[in-house]
């Protein structure tokens, strides 16, 4: 019923509009909402092909899934999952990739070990840049020698930073972030305390603890003490399985390194975050700095930025995407905050109809510029 209401609203928005791209955006939107179910786009387009492809850049070897439309390719697109163990094999991500391929993108979903193993780190920036270089260098997949990037959740940070690298930046035509971040320290403050910055004001929310435990898992490898590393990994896994689980047995034996990380994620006072960050082991602080777009000047970004976020996101606050939009020249970005998007899961509401249509139309417009 909600899906039909959104479709009806879109038709009203487009009444009298003769632009083919506008109608195509409706078909793409309804297919995104349908997932693997029937849709008008599926009725009008043959199923995309999915191939597992090895690829190499400067001697570095990777593997990914390549989704190819059965019609003429209009543009290449690197699609990056967030930090999730299913990675490129998540059925929701696969359905998203298939929709994009039906919209005549050649879609590469790289299998990046850091994302899948929940060991996110600064290496993700270089690996993302390599995926961009490989796809954009194939004229049959990326006409014009440039491609787009679509990044979900945490992947938005590495994607944005890869687009700033000299070797990859000139190859990125546009960048879509869904539920992404701008200031990593602000996100970690929200993970741990529930407080986040909205412009100059502090606001309180109820965070989904998944983000906090992913952060712990991502950083255990940067702790030298094997006993601390093992205990913290067990603690994070235990909490992911059961948020109410007791962990006293694991906390008691922590040494100074492990205790500094534990004190950081156990803290609930946002005023203590800066001091606790400074106590973290040097490798963790170095990686946090490398993964933080707010430390970079984004005014030189050549790619157009399409920023999408859920208003009530409980993993990364929408204020992060709003801050990102403020850091980029107005003529280089579009910001779309939706009521029916919970982090990266789309359940469109009637109030989202026009904003969703504009967001998808913006993506298709960038495709057509190729």
The number of helices, as runs of H, and strands, as runs of E, in the chain is: 17, 12
- pTM of the entire predicted model: 0.91
Q: Is 269 exposed, middle or buried (0-12, 13-18, 19+ CB in 10 A)?
A: exposed
For residue 227, count other CB atoms closer than 10 A to its CB.
Answer: 13
CATH 3.40.50.2000 describes domain 2-183+298-369: no
Contact predicate 58/36, CB 8 Å: no
The closest of 45, 74, 49, 72 to 363, measured between CA atoms, is 74
- Cα 246 to Cα 136, 234, 241, 287: the distances in Å are 49, 12, 12, 29
Q: What is the DSSP secondary-structure string of 5-41?
A: HHHHHHHHHTTT---HHHHHHHHHHHHHHHTTS--HH
Per-position pLDDT tens, the chain of length 370:
455 445 544 544 544 444 478 889 999 988 988 888 999 999 999 999 999 999 999 999 999 999 999 999 999 999 999 777 777 889 999 999 999 999 999 999 999 877 766 677 889 999 999 999 999 999 999 999 999 999 999 999 999 999 999 999 999 999 999 999 999 999 999 999 999 998 889 999 999 888 888 889 889 999 999 999 999 999 999 999 999 999 999 999 999 999 999 999 999 999 999 999 999 999 999 999 999 999 999 988 999 999 999 998 999 999 999 999 999 999 999 999 998 787 767 776 777 888 989 999 999 999 998 7
**229: Cβ–Cβ under 8 A, 6 or more apart, which residues?**
220, 221, 223, 258
CA distance 212 to 206: 12
CA distance 61 to 76: 20
For residue 35, count other CB atoms closer than 10 A to its CB.
Answer: 15
Contact predicate 157/191, CB 8 Å: no
- Cα 165 to Cα 8, 130, 143, 199, 304: the distances in Å are 43, 11, 21, 28, 15
- Cα 355 to Cα 32, 255, 310: the distances in Å are 15, 50, 12
pLDDT at residue number 18:
41
Domain boundaries, the chain: 2-183+298-369, 192-290
Say whether 241 sits in a helix, a strand or coil.
helix
């Amino acid at each position: 019923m909600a899906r039909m209401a959104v479709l009806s609203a879109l038709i009203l928005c487009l009444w009298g509009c003769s632009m083919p791209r506008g109608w195509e955006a409706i078909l793409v939107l309804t297919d995104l909402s349908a997932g693997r179910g029937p849709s008008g786009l599926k009725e009008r387009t043959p199923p995309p092909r999915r191939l597992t492809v090895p690829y190499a850049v400067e001697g570095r070897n990777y593997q990914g899934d390549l989704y190819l439309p059965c019609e003429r390719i209009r543009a290449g697109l690197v699609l990056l999952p967030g930090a999730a163990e299913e990675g490129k094999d998540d059925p929701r991500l696969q359905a998203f990739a298939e929709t994009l391929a039906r919209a005549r993108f050649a879609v590469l979903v790289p299998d990046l070990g850091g994302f899948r193993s929940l060991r996110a780190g600064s290496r993700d920036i270089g690996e993302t840049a390599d995926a961009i270089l490989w796809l954009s260098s194939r004229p049959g997949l990326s006409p014009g020698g440039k491609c787009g990037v679509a990044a979900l959740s945490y992947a938005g940070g590495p994607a944005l930073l890869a687009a700033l690298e000299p070797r990859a930046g000139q190859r990125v035509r546009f960048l879509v972030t869904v539920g992404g971040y701008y200031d990593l320290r602000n996100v970690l403050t929200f993970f741990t305390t529930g407080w986040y910055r909205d412009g100059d004001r502090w606001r309180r929310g109820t965070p989904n603890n998944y983000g906090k435990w992913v952060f712990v898992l991502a950083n255990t490898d940067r702790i030298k003490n094997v006993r601390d590393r093992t205990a913290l990994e067990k603690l994070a896994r235990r909490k992911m399985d059961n948020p109410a689980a007791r962990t006293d047995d694991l906390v008691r034996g922590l040494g100074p390194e492990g205790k500094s990380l534990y004190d950081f994620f156990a803290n609930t006072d946002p005023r203590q975050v800066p001091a606790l960050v400074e106590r973290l082991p040097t490798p963790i602080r170095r990686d946090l700095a490398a993964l933080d777009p707010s430390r970079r000047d984004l005014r030189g970004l050549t790619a157009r930025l399409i920023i999408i976020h859920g208003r009530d996101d409980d993993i990364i606050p929408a204020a992060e995407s709003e801050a990102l939009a403020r850091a980029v020249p107005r003529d280089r970005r579009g910001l779309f905050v939706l009521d029916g998007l919970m982090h990266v899961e789309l359940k469109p509401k009637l109030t989202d109809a026009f904003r969703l249509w504009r967001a998808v139309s913006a993506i298709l417009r960038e495709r057509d510029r190729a």
